[in-house]
Amino acid sequence: MDRPRRVLLTGAAGRIGSCLRELLPAYGYRLRCFDRLPVPGEPDAITADLRDAEALAAAVDGVDAVVHLAGIPGEAPFADILAANIDGTYRLYDAARAAGVRRIVYASSNHAVGFTERPADGGTVPVDTPQRPDTYYGLSKCFGENLASLYADRHGMETVSLRIGSFTDEPRSVRMLATWLSPGDCARLVHAALTGPVSGHTVVYGISANTRAWWDLASARALGYRPVDDAEAFAAKVIAEHGEPAADDPELRYLGGSFTQAAP
Ligand code: 15L
């Protein structure tokens, strides 16, 4: 697409939102921020809930694209997930459609496929593996991906769902040696998702160029994503701290790690 200039960032006060506020302007974007919490130091920011229709309509007005991060970032009671992640995401997509926004980049999660067992041969999992949520949180990400598919097919929007792995400053567990997404690569990935060639709904995994990667980055690379970080640089430190992984470690059996053992 033509390079989008004005981008709405929902969830702008959160962890990933704060990183993107810092790093995306260098790519030439002008950000409008949206969050339930005040976003400090941003001249163009709206403090509101996604269920505030008037605020949402003002937020999507005149933007070229949306990066939708807002929502509960982990497991929670179903009623909370329903309101924030499912209903909130629907409202965001529909407001964007009504305003004529061309592209939405959606923060999905690896937990949309979290109950997928890691391949026995140590290979990577492709993006077209069936959805297999590990929590209500993962289920809401499946909904968001399917909503993105519907709005691409029915309304001709360009939609990209990022199945983000583990976004942290540095990997903090053996699992993260496979699932880590560094802050710099996160910005590179979102930039690629905002500008890369998209036909309909596109699903990509969001991790760095990790030597031990569990996910296939082919569809992300097709958007132009070129990760530069590798969790392997931290492997000695992580293993010294946590020990070598046991073959039967439940954290490492399924893609979703400990989320597969979350209490109902
Ligand atoms: C996610 O989707 C969560 O938002 C984050 O807190 C981590 O748990 C991450 O997945 C992960 O799988 O490490």
Instruction: Return the pLDDT at 93.
Output: 98
3-state helix, strand, coil in the chain (%, to 5): 40, 15, 40
How far are the Cα atoms of 19, 41, 123, 134, 162 from residue 116, in angstroms, in the given order? 29, 41, 13, 9, 17
pLDDT tens digits, one per residue of 195-234: 999 999 999 999 999 999 999 999 999 999 999 999 999 9
CA of 21 to the centre of ligand 1 (A): 20
Domains and CATH numbers, the chain: 6-261 (3.40.50.720)
Report d(CA 22, CA 33) in Å as an integer.
12
Whose CA is closest to atom 9 on ligand 1? 166
Q: Which of 93, 106, 137, 254 is catalytic?
A: 137
Looking at ligand 1, which residue's alpha carbon is closest to its atom 7?
166
Going by C-alpha positions, the residue among 143, 173, 151, 44 that lies closest to residue 95 is 151
Q: Separation of 49 CA from ligand 1 center, angstroms? A: 22
Q: Is 137 considered catalytic here?
A: yes
Model pTM score: 0.97
Output the tens digit of pLDDT for each of the chain's 264 residues. Answer: 567 899 999 999 999 999 999 999 999 999 999 999 999 999 999 999 999 999 999 999 999 999 999 999 999 999 999 999 999 999 999 999 999 999 999 999 999 999 999 998 889 999 999 999 999 999 999 999 999 999 999 999 999 999 999 999 999 999 999 999 999 999 999 999 999 999 999 999 999 999 999 999 999 999 999 999 999 999 999 999 999 888 788 789 999 999 999 665
Q: What percent of the chain has pLDDT over 90?
A: 92
Question: Residue 105 half-sphere exposure, CB side, CA atoms within 13 Å?
Answer: 31
Q: What are the tokens at 6?
A: 């004005």
